[in-house]
Amino acid sequence: MKTLRPITPHSILTEKLKQLRNDPSLKETSDNFQKELNRVYLLASGLDKYLEENTTSEPASLASLSQETRKFDWETDRGKHDVFLEAEMLSGHVEGQFLKTLVSATKSKNILEIGMFTGYSAISMARGLPDDGELIACEIDAEAAAIAEKSILSAGLEKKIKIIIGPAMDTLKKISKQNLTFDFIFVDADKQNYTNYVQYILKSNLLRIGGLCVVDNTLLQGEVYLDRVDRSEAGHAINLFNQYLNNEKQMEQVIIPLRDGVTVSERVK
Ligand SMILES: C[S@@+](CC[C@H](N)C(=O)[O-])C[C@H]1O[C@@H](n2cnc3c(N)ncnc32)[C@H](O)[C@@H]1O
């Protein structure tokens, strides 16, 4: 099975420290320096494992979805998709449990997800819904949606999760015509459109006052706080999105440094 490359600020930092620790030129440095470097590496490398171990266990259905997503050959399959897809996109155990806890603690009943991929976060959030709760998931890629659909069925959540395939902005426009309002919205799709999505969500009242808008990858591998020259286009877009949200008077937010950064924002006006 494919080993996932580091895609969070913390795992990238850990990988860099590992390379540094194994760098032959550092063998010449003092014992104290090497001991301290080793300690810094252990501090960094132990965190994700500790978080996994001390988070409520991952249900078997989600563990197997995670494995299936990792086994899938996204690279060979790439030409068939309009968007770039890779196994690393899946949110996973700790973030999934975080989302489920947020949904159930806020007693949310209606959820909108923008960017479902193979369904890990959709299933996690739906597990936090009451019996009459519903989640609408927007996904542009039909093949990723098909994998999600299979897992949703095996998790017995088909009555709660409705998938809409197509560009999310088109779906938002269709949904807003039906006057739907959500308690909880999770944004995890194309980074260049994050600001457009949240502006549209507020303009068309898709999020109720007091509802939560949770946004993934808002640290974008640490690029948001690095110099502009070290930022990809996605990093630049997320940096602008974070500035927009910070100035948006209808929202109050906090960036949680979980995985690649998760912003939890509440609509206050
Ligand atoms: C980071 S992945 C989502 C991961 C998922 N939320 C999870 O936790 O497993 C981003 C997804 O957004 C989808 N996507 C990208 N652009 C989109 C668009 N314009 N409309 C709808 N979905 C889009 C991609 O196909 C991909 O499946």
Write the CA distances from 197 to 8, 46, 241, integer angstroms: 23, 36, 10
Residue 2's pLDDT is what? 74
Nearest one of 101, 149, 96 to 124, comparing CA atoms: 96
What digits encode the pLDDT tens for the residues 43-64? 999 999 999 999 999 999 999 9
pLDDT band of 204, cuts 50, 70, 90:
very high
Q: Which amino acid is at 26?
A: L
Rounded distance between C-alpha atoms, residue 231 and residue 225, angstroms: 9
Nearest one of 188, 161, 16, 162 to 95, comparing CA atoms: 188
Residue 94's pLDDT is what? 98
What digits encode the pLDDT tens for the residues 94-153? 999 999 999 999 999 999 999 999 999 999 999 999 999 999 999 999 999 999 999 999
Q: Quick one: how far is CA 224 from the chain centroid?
A: 16
Q: Which domains does the chain have, with CATH numbers?
A: 9-53 (no CATH), 60-267 (3.40.50.150)
Q: How far is the CA of 107 from the centre of ligand 1 (A)?
A: 25
Contact 95, 58 (CB under 8 A): no
Ligand 1 pocket member 140 (CB < 6 A): yes
Place of tokens 């760098």: 23
Q: How far is the CA of 117 from the centre of ligand 1 (A)?
A: 5
Determine the atom of ligand 1 nearest the C-alpha atom of 95.
Answer: 8
Place of tokens 């960036």: 255
Ligand 1 pocket member 41 (CB < 6 A): no
Residue 121's pLDDT is what? 98
Contact 95, 53 (CB under 8 A): no
